[in-house]
Amino acid sequence: MENKTLQKLYEKFEFRNILPEEAEQAAEVEAICFPPNEACTEESMKRRIAKTPELFLVAVDKQTGKIAGFLNGIATDETSFRDEFFTEENLHNPKGKTIMLLGLDVLPQYRNQGLARELVNHYLCRERENGRHLILLTCLEAKVEMYQNMGFHDEGLANSTWGGEQWHEMSYVI
C-alpha cells in the first residue's frame, strides 16, 4: 500500500489486541458483517475473546473509541482447516505454528479505504514475529481474488461446510 494511504490509516485507527470488555462490540460488528448462518454467535465470540485475546487484532476509530474492524484466529499445529476451529476455542495451542483465521470484519462505513488489507498485513507481520509458519483461512468464491491480492494461495475447495456454504481454503506461508 502507498505510504501516504498507510499513514492516513494509522492516523485514523489504532491497531491493537482486543480488550475483554469489547467482546459484545465485536459480536455486534460480526452480526453486521456476516449473515446469521456464517456469523460467530455472541456467546462463541465471548469465549474466543476470553481464551485468545492475543489472536485478535482490532482497528479502533480514534475519534469514537469504537471498533471499526477486526481480524481473529486460533493457533494450532494442524495444517488443514476444519470447522471445529470456529466453535472449539479449546483447540487453541498458543505455541502452534499455524494460525487458522476465523473472521475478517470491517463495518460498512469504514470499507474501501484499505482497512481489511492493513488488518491482514499487520496480523501477518505480528504472527511472523510470534514464530508462526502458516496462515490458513476459508472464504467464499467471491473473496478468492481479494485474498490472492493479499498474497494468499488458493488451495481449492475446503473440507468445510460451515453455514451450509462451499468454501475455498486459502494459505499464506510465512
Distance CA 131, CA 93 (A): 13
Complex with ligand COA: residue 135 or 139, whichever CB lies closer? 139
Complex with ligand COA: residue 2 or 129, whichever CB lies closer? 2
Complex with ligand COA: residue 111 or 128, whichever CB lies closer? 111
Q: Is 30 in the site for ligand COA (CB under 6 A)?
A: no
- In DSSP terms, 139 is beta-bridged to 168
Q: How far is the CB of 140 from ligand COA (least distance, A)?
A: 7
User: Which residue in 161, 146, 38, 28 sits closest to 102, CA to CA?
Assistant: 38
Cell 460488528 locates to: 29
Complex with ligand COA: residue 105 or 169, whichever CB lies closer? 105
Q: Which helix (H) or strand (E) element contains residue 169? A: strand 168-173
The stretch among 12-20, 82-90, 103-111, 157-165 that binds ligand COA (CB under 6 A) is 103-111
Q: Which stretches does DSSP call E strand in 5-152?
A: 13-16, 56-61, 67-76, 98-106, 134-139
Q: Rounded to the nearest 5°, which phi and psi values hold at 58?
A: -110, 150
The stretch among 58-66, 84-92, 105-113, 122-130 that binds ligand COA (CB under 6 A) is 105-113
Q: Supply the DSSP symbol for 168.
A: E
Per-residue string for binding with ligand COA, 56-95, x by CB under 6 A?
A: ----------------------------------------
Among residues 89, 105, 127, 169, the one that binds ligand COA under rule CB under 6 A: 105
